[in-house]
Homo-oligomer: A and B are copies of this chain.
Amino acid sequence: MTENRIDTASLQPLIHPKSIAVIGASAKPGKLGGVPLHQMDAYGYEGKLYPINPKGGEILGRPVYPDIGAVPGDVDMAIIAIPAGKVLAALEACVLKGVKVAVIFSSGFAEIGGDGIAAQERMSTIARQSGMRILGPNGLGVTNIAACVFATFSPLFLPRMAPDGCIGLVSQSGAFGGYVANLAAESGLSFSTWITTGNEADIDLADAIALQSEDPATRVILVYLEGARNGPKLVKALGMARDAGKPVIILKVGRTDAGAEAAASHTAALAGADDVYDAIFRQAGAYRAKDIGEWFGIARAYAISAPPRGREIGLITISGGVGVMMADEASSNGLEPTPLSDTAQRRLKELVPFAGTRNPVDVTGQMVADLSDFEKMVEIVVEDQRFGTLICFNAGVGRNEDKGFEIQHAWANIRTKYPDVHVAISGATTPAVQRAYEEIGCLVYTEPDLAVRIAAAMAECECRLNEPAVAAPSPAARQELPPGTLNEVRSSEVLRAAGVPAVGSRLVRTGDDAVAAAREIGFPVVLKIVSADILHKSDIGGVALNVGDEAAVAAAFDRCMEAATQNAPAALVDGVMVAPMVAADGVETILGVHLDPVFGPVVMFGLGGVLVEVLRDVAFRRAPFGIEEAHAMIAETMAAEILSGVRGAAPADIDALAQALSDLSRFAAAHADVLESIDVNPFVVGERGQGALALDAVVQCRG
């Protein structure tokens, strides 16, 4: 894993360059080297702009310099729009000139393999050695709308976007970045900064997220992620965004096997298990959107409105059935349509006798007539439960522009009185009415169910942002671990030393030692042959259960050894394990650790038993993590319900389980350099207060 340092100071010239040179400048507005010049000219970039082209001449009234060395003043940013073969030389020249950041449009590097990879590695080296930051190659560049900086060849920023955009975009794909620019333009939205990272020879998506976390103009960060190269650095950047109170909304591709196969053929950069990304995002307080609509919808909602305060939602409708639909959508997405008090319901009935008053509140079609009563009803609703969110469905009524503006006016009055409530209007509107709503911070949706879903997603984002940031615990004390697979006795010892409760067994090589071990452990005991070469130990008679006294232990030891000799003469036998005969009373679970190629050691938790293979109901967390995170991890699985006690069963010792998961994670973090994997199966969780115990475990180390 490469260094995970983030140096946002060196990244500032990427979005606030005081001077920009365009290497490969063109007078033609449609050319790679022409687009940035023409867009910046159109927007009125106030810094120095230096076209560079050996042909010389003048572009847009500016003298063209033959090379960057010839530029009279300092150059903060160099845009490089020349063929791949000439890029490295241009970069060297930039370094000599003292350029702070280079933005490379050119393609023909890592994405074409072979020489392209070598050239890109050279690029990375230049960045590392010189301190000059590099964005790209093979990217669509960067824009800062308010500063009129357009180091991009995307033509999608004209017509002019508003300078007060608050959406920060980070996209690993240039094409997708352009697509999002179009989405924004069509929604009347704008960006604070818009960054496409391309091949990420130097500046990567973590850098871009960190930069936007510190950028005061950015309210919400939209991330399009194909695959992270440096997991810990991404985690750090997400932490910076959380600390800055900025929601990070992530669209990550490669969710399914088909997607993963497509991804593998797309670029080798895509690695790391998809469900590990899920866990990382959750752990870092970021939100992974389900689809493009939700992803962009959340950003739009943050850009226009106050986010929901809490999860209580008031629903207002002029169609009872749609009220039901909105309540469905709310409760299946974690919002609470709290019923109104009897008093409030009585007051609503006084205004409209046949109104539905519980919540959803069905103001009925009659309300279309009298908007002063409508306003009173909304006030009764919001006052009664202090809802953080109000969503209203107007059906087709808003199609009539006069009525649409009247309703908008009623909502404007509501907003003045309750400015911190998240308000969304759904149903028919006209563009002019929609603009009026948006000006007062009300969202407008065509679909009422979508309005509820986006509010629910925002409430979840807010909840994650407001969770107290918990410092990761320190890694566990270091143990000496040999390479290869540790046998069950040694694996158990290692876990116990790490604080994870595991059966205390002994490895013995003689009958006398077996008897001595059994005496120490206490009867009855279990004996089992220990050999990595013998898989089905009980099948060959290599296991003796419930052995009750010393004579029986001696006999069982001989039988086990004999079974190995007879049935697996070639097997390497470590000896015989003597362990207490434990009644496995409790809930069987599985704990595991594996090394994710991007994020390092990751801990897994799931329910044990046959059904698990069918359910695939497991949770992951990046190591190390504390007890609270372990509890959150357990709560994500269906095991949580089983552990809390079903059909009258006593609740299990979830605290002991959480402690074990955290301890396992601290152990994994301390040994990330040598560890390959850990399987603890079963990990039996007893009744509350009775603890938990690993009955079997395998620790694998590298090499």
* Residues of B close to A172: CB separation below 8 A: 321
Known contacts A173-B320, A365-B175; is-contact A155 B400 (Cβ 8 Å): yes
Q: Is residue A68 within 8 Å, beta carbon to beta carbon, of the partner chain?
A: no
Structural contact, B396 and A256, CB atoms closer than 8 A: no
Give A182 to B324 CA distance when docked, in angstroms: 21
Least Cβ–Cβ distance between A398 and chain B, in angstroms: 8
Known contacts A175-B396, A395-B176; is-contact A449 B291 (Cβ 8 Å): yes
Quick one: CB contact mask for A72-103 with B, threshold 8 Å, 1 for yes?
00000000000000000000000000000000
Least Cβ–Cβ distance between A551 and chain B, in angstroms: 33
Structural contact, B176 and A255, CB atoms closer than 8 A: no
* Residues of B close to A258: CB separation below 8 A: 327-328, 330-331, 337
Q: Is residue A461 within 8 Å, beta carbon to beta carbon, of the partner chain?
A: no
Q: Is residue A292 within 8 Å, beta carbon to beta carbon, of the partner chain?
A: yes
Q: Is residue A226 within 8 Å, beta carbon to beta carbon, of the partner chain?
A: yes
Known contacts A256-B327, A259-B325, A614-B638; is-contact A179 B396 (Cβ 8 Å): yes
Give A255 to B330 CA distance when docked, in angstroms: 11
Structural contact, A292 and B449, CB atoms closer than 8 A: yes
Q: Is residue A272 within 8 Å, beta carbon to beta carbon, of the partner chain?
A: no
Q: Which of A51-59, A125-133, A354-362 contacts the other chain?
A: A354-362
Within 8 A of B (CB), among A519-576: none
* Residues of B close to A270: CB separation below 8 A: 324
For A398, the closest partner residue in chain B by CB is: B182
For A360, the closest partner residue in chain B by CB is: B262
Give the secondary structure class of A's interface.
Answer: helix
Q: Is residue A257 within 8 Å, beta carbon to beta carbon, of the partner chain?
A: yes
Quick one: CB contact mask for A226-255 with B, threshold 8 Å, 1 for yes?
100000000000000000000000010111
Structural contact, A265 and B356, CB atoms closer than 8 A: yes
Quick one: CB contact mask for A353-383 with B, threshold 8 Å, 1 for yes?
0101111101001000000000000000000
Structural contact, A266 and B323, CB atoms closer than 8 A: yes
Known contacts A325-B253, A614-B638; is-contact A266 B320 (Cβ 8 Å): yes
Structural contact, B322 and A253, CB atoms closer than 8 A: yes
Give A292 to B326 CA distance when docked, in angstroms: 11
Structural contact, A328 and B254, CB atoms closer than 8 A: yes
Within 8 A of B (CB), among A310-324: 315, 318-324
Structural contact, B646 and A614, CB atoms closer than 8 A: yes
Pick the residue among B155, B262, B327, B399 that contacts A259 (CB under 8 A): B327
Structural contact, A613 and B356, CB atoms closer than 8 A: no
Q: Is residue A224 within 8 Å, beta carbon to beta carbon, of the partner chain?
A: yes
Least Cβ–Cβ distance between A577 and chain B, in angstroms: 24
Q: Is residue A183 within 8 Å, beta carbon to beta carbon, of the partner chain?
A: yes
Within 8 A of B (CB), among A174-190: 174-176, 178-179, 181-183, 186
Known contacts A173-B322, A428-B179, A646-B610; is-contact A399 B156 (Cβ 8 Å): yes
Central interface residue in A155, A224, A256, A258, by most chain B CB within 10 Å: A258
* Residues of B close to A400: CB separation below 8 A: 155
For A362, the closest partner residue in chain B by CB is: B266
* Residues of B close to A329: CB separation below 8 A: 291
Q: Is residue A470 within 8 Å, beta carbon to beta carbon, of the partner chain?
A: no
Q: Is residue A647 within 8 Å, beta carbon to beta carbon, of the partner chain?
A: yes
* Residues of B close to A261: CB separation below 8 A: 327, 339, 358
Least Cβ–Cβ distance between A233 and chain B, in angstroms: 20
Structural contact, B395 and A256, CB atoms closer than 8 A: no
* Residues of B close to A253: CB separation below 8 A: 321-322, 324-325, 328
Least Cβ–Cβ distance between A271 and chain B, in angstroms: 13
Give A178 to B324 CA distance when docked, in angstroms: 18
Known contacts A224-B321, A399-B182; is-contact A331 B156 (Cβ 8 Å): no
Give A427 to B428 CA distance when docked, in angstroms: 24
Least Cβ–Cβ distance between A186 and chain B, in angstroms: 8
Give A267 to B319 CA distance when docked, in angstroms: 11
Give A156 to B398 CA distance when docked, in angstroms: 11
Pick the residue among B112, B181, B362, B448 that contacts A354 (CB under 8 A): B112
Structural contact, A173 and B319, CB atoms closer than 8 A: yes
Least Cβ–Cβ distance between A445 and chain B, in angstroms: 10
Q: Is residue A659 within 8 Å, beta carbon to beta carbon, of the partner chain?
A: no
Q: Is residue A615 within 8 Å, beta carbon to beta carbon, of the partner chain?
A: yes
Structural contact, A255 and B328, CB atoms closer than 8 A: yes
Q: Is residue A636 within 8 Å, beta carbon to beta carbon, of the partner chain?
A: no
Known contacts A291-B450, A611-B642; is-contact A324 B254 (Cβ 8 Å): yes
Structural contact, A615 and B638, CB atoms closer than 8 A: yes
For A257, the closest partner residue in chain B by CB is: B331
Pick the residue among B256, B337, B614, B638 that contacts A332 (CB under 8 A): B256
Q: Is residue A263 within 8 Å, beta carbon to beta carbon, of the partner chain?
A: yes
Nearest 7 A/B pairs, CB to CB? A259-B328, A178-B396, A258-B331, A175-B319, A266-B320, A175-B395, A262-B327
Known: A155-B400, A253-B328, A261-B358; 14 extra A-B contacts, CB below 8 A, are A156-B399, A172-B321, A178-B395, A186-B428, A255-B328, A262-B315, A262-B360, A265-B357, A266-B320, A266-B323, A267-B320, A610-B642, A613-B647, A614-B646
**A-B contacts, 29 listed (Cβ < 8 Å):** A112-B354, A156-B428, A172-B321, A175-B395, A176-B322, A178-B396, A179-B322, A179-B396, A181-B396, A183-B446, A224-B321, A251-B325, A253-B324, A258-B330, A258-B331, A261-B339, A262-B327, A265-B357, A265-B358, A266-B320, A291-B449, A292-B325, A292-B447, A293-B449, A293-B450, A610-B647, A613-B646, A614-B641, A615-B615
